[in-house]
Structure 1
Amino acid sequence: MSTTEFESLDKCLESHLPEEELKEVKRILYGKETKKLELPSSAVDAATDRDFELKGFQFDAAQEQLRPPRKVRVGLVQHHIVLPTDAPVMEQVNAMHSRIGEMVEVAAMCGVNIICFQETWTMPFAFCTREKEPWLEFSESAENGHTTRFCQELATKHNMVIISPILEREDVHNTVWNTAVVISNSGNVLGKSRKHHIPRIGDFNESTYYMEGDTGHTVFQTHFGKIAVNICYGRHHPLNWFMYSMNGAEIIFNPSATVGTLSEPMWPIEARNAAIANHCFTCAINRVGTEHFKSEFTSGDGQKAHHDFGHFYGSSYVAAPDGSRTPGLSRTRDGLLVVEMDLNLNRQISDRWNFKMTGRYSEYAEELTEAVRPDFKPKIVK
């Protein structure tokens, strides 16, 4: 069986392990079992008709005496591109809008409050090719572009916060960025968060198109909680998650585009570890499918020239601060993951483990200040 046919780790375990062993394996792999979330039959039927996977889970918190529960439902969307990569640009964008519109309708049926799409969701992940045309034509304004206006309509219609990662063109300086636009449930553009770390590894050499973002570790206060967006490669940097958390993020979304041969063994670990270390919820989103390009490309990594750069393995999931996580979506199918979480769990776990109270941040800051000096000498005793 090839990696593109292997649907999910969960299904493999369920097919081959007895029930009691399966329960223990999942406890070790995923932490405390997450309850399945009852979803409306109309939503289940609609997802089946529109040919995408729909799963629902929930994280509970202990009942408190002084604070009522703060329950929020998030939606994570993963999907293939709809049209071939050589189709006209606007046709590709409009086809993606149509597909996402179908999936958001189902999310609304499930009571989703905040939804996040995958990295640069309106286009193929063409940054591996290093060609400028036609890929830069997918870029658009974060504030009033075609895609932002589309998402504003959805947000207003469904009373839903929308995180829309796009290829942004900033007109004043004619610069291009990898950007997540955050749209409030009232339809206003709340702000944007640009990709903070840019990979230069194998096929993923994205500095051909855009550079490190300049929006810092912005956190957005929404009607449903404080959220942040840690785009793709930023998940490999623990301090990146940490800074969003230090700015008060209760939920950190990680919209990504990553292929199996490069990063899949790390995928189940990084967002989950970030949730544990930072006393917050994390949401990891990855696209699915293999995207083929007309021109061959090589990436200076010893590989032969090729027309694609591997299988995007989906597997989107949500992790909680107590170390538990949901099962993932499929590695091969479009999908919507709906997760209900009680944000009170963040403080409850923080009170138990006290990572922020016991962190030596002033000491770290002093040593990091020294470490970035050109005359830095490591403290090594010989």
Structure 2
Amino acid sequence: MKLGMVQMAMSPDMAKNEEKILRFCDEAHDCDLVFFPEVQYSPFFAQYEGRDVGRYLLTPDSPQVTRLQQKAKQHGYYLSPNIYLQQPHGRYDASLFITPKGEIEAISSMVHIFSAPCFYETGYYTPSPDGFHVYDTPFGKVGIVICFDRHIPESVRTCAAMGADLVIIPTANMCSEPLDLFEAEIRTEAMQNQVFIAMCNRVGAEGNEVFAGQSLAVAPDGSVLYKADGKERLVTVELDLTEAARWKAKRPFINLRRPEFYK
């Protein structure tokens, strides 16, 4: 499969963000699956406490989502945007999974909600009501883990146990964070779970922070297939998802688990 990661910068202007998003959707016309960084229609508002950010909320039937569905259908690819989603029982950091027919197959929401300086997420997001999802495609099974979720090892492990060959991670990693450690984390999780992992990050300055880019694609043996720079761009990488099954046979770590002894 040809995977597209849209490593982009966002502004406070939702319409300008959408114009750029749709342009990247067209640029990625020959991809099989395209996804974006975390909360792609807005600035990363969670770096601030107590902001009124309701203007950035979308619903599954918002015009912006409809236009993304049209792009997926037009180009015949899977598309996974990450949005600030309003649902009846809360507001979510959520990734849609849109099929090449332009249909929303399901929605994956962030499971673990974090709170710390620059990441005041508990003030904005509701924890996922239904956990992790894995999606069937002709290329293999695709799981979604959103930003902070990847720091909880059970997140990628759960997707792998559900059969994922590839886990995609929309994220917002800042230059002030330990990026070398984050790369090592992704490589380790890929190796331990015998899955491909692709992480798509934001770029650009917002407030006092600069987002790092450095989007990653990692193979099931933990090797880095692609690491981007810090510039806005469409990143593409070719993945043979059948390799995940071969690595699972070679290193059957998941089959050797003994959860009755885990706390």
TM-score by length of 2: 0.95
Aligned-pair distance for 1:78? 0.9
Which 4+ stretches in 1 moved above 6 angstroms? none
CA contact (8 A) 1:161 1:185 kept: yes
Determine which of 205, 210, 226 is the counterpart of 1:311: 210
How far apart, in 2, do the equivalents of 1:158 and 1:224 lie? 17
Aligned-pair distance for 1:326? 2.2
Q: How does 1:2-17 map to 2 (within 5 A)?
A: none
CA contact (8 A) 2:108 2:144 kept: yes
CA contact (8 A) 1:148 1:181 kept: no
Aligned-pair distance for 1:361? 3.0
Amino-acid identity (%) = 24
Q: In the alignment, which residue of structure 2 is the partner of 1:187?
A: 102
Q: How does 1:331-370 map to 2 (within 5 A)?
A: 331=230, 333-364=231-262, 368=263
The answer to whether 1:162 aligns with 2:50 is no
Aligned-pair distance for 1:166? 0.2
Deviations along 1:293-345, one digit per CA (max 9) or x if unpaired, are xxxxxxxxxxxxxxx2x2110000100102211231112x1011111111111
**Structure 2 unaligned blocks of 5 or more:** none
Rg comparison, structure with higher value: 1
Q: In the alignment, which residue of structure 2 is the partner of 1:137?
A: 55
Q: In the alignment, which residue of structure 2 is the partner of 1:296?
A: none
Q: How does 1:44-63 map to 2 (within 5 A)?
A: none
Aligned-pair distance for 1:93? 1.9
The answer to which structure has the higher strand fraction is 2
Aligned-pair distance for 1:246? 0.8
Q: In the alignment, which residue of structure 1 is the partner of 2:28?
A: 107
Q: How does 1:77-88 map to 2 (within 5 A)?
A: 77-81=6-10, 83=11, 85=12
Deviations along 1:170-204, one digit per CA (max 9) or x if unpaired, are 1x34x211111110111000010010111112221
Deviations along 1:137-157, one digit per CA (max 9) or x if unpaired, are 10111x212221111011000
CA contact (8 A) 2:140 2:242 kept: no
Aligned-pair distance for 1:103? 1.7
How far apart, in 1, do the equivalents of 2:169 and 2:185 lie? 10
Q: In the alignment, which residue of structure 2 is the partner of 1:371?
A: none
- Give the counterpart letter for 1:282 in structure 2: I
Deviations along 1:201-221, one digit per CA (max 9) or x if unpaired, are 222111111132112111112
Aligned-pair distance for 1:113? 0.3
Q: How many residues align?
A: 263
How far apart, in 2, do the equivalents of 1:161 and 1:224 lie? 11
117-126 vs 318-327, which moves further: 318-327
Alignment partner of 1:112: what SS?
coil
Aligned-pair distance for 1:223? 3.8
Alignment partner of 2:234: what SS?
strand
How far apart, in 1, do the equivalents of 2:21 and 2:228 lie? 17
Aligned-pair distance for 1:98? 1.4
- Give the counterpart letter for 1:122 in structure 2: Y
CA RMSD of aligned residues (A): 1.4
Alignment partner of 1:177: what SS?
strand
Determine which of 110, 119, 122 is the counterpart of 2:41: 122
How far apart, in 2, do the equivalents of 1:273 and 1:336 lie? 25
Q: In the alignment, which residue of structure 1 is the partner of 2:192?
A: 277
156-165 vs 269-278, which moves further: 269-278
Q: In the alignment, which residue of structure 2 is the partner of 1:322?
A: 221
How far apart, in 2, do the equivalents of 1:189 and 1:211 lie? 21
Alignment partner of 2:38: what SS?
coil
Deviations along 1:207-243, one digit per CA (max 9) or x if unpaired, are 1111321121111123432111100001111111101
Aligned-pair distance for 1:263? 3.4
How far apart, in 1, do the equivalents of 2:175 and 2:51 lie? 25
CA contact (8 A) 1:78 1:336 kept: yes
How far apart, in 2, do the equivalents of 1:140 and 1:147 lie? 8
The answer to whether 1:233 aligns with 2:148 is yes
How far apart, in 2, do the equivalents of 1:252 and 1:138 lie? 26
Alignment partner of 1:185: what SS?
coil
Q: In the alignment, which residue of structure 1 is the partner of 2:169?
A: 254
**Structure 1 unaligned blocks of 5 or more:** 1-71, 86-91, 293-307, 369-382
Aligned-pair distance for 1:354? 1.8
CA contact (8 A) 2:175 2:212 kept: yes
How far apart, in 2, do the equivalents of 1:155 and 1:225 lie? 18
Alignment partner of 2:112: what SS?
coil
- Give the counterpart letter for 1:128 in structure 2: Q
Select the structure with the greater relative contact order (CA < 8 A; seq sep ≥ 6). 1
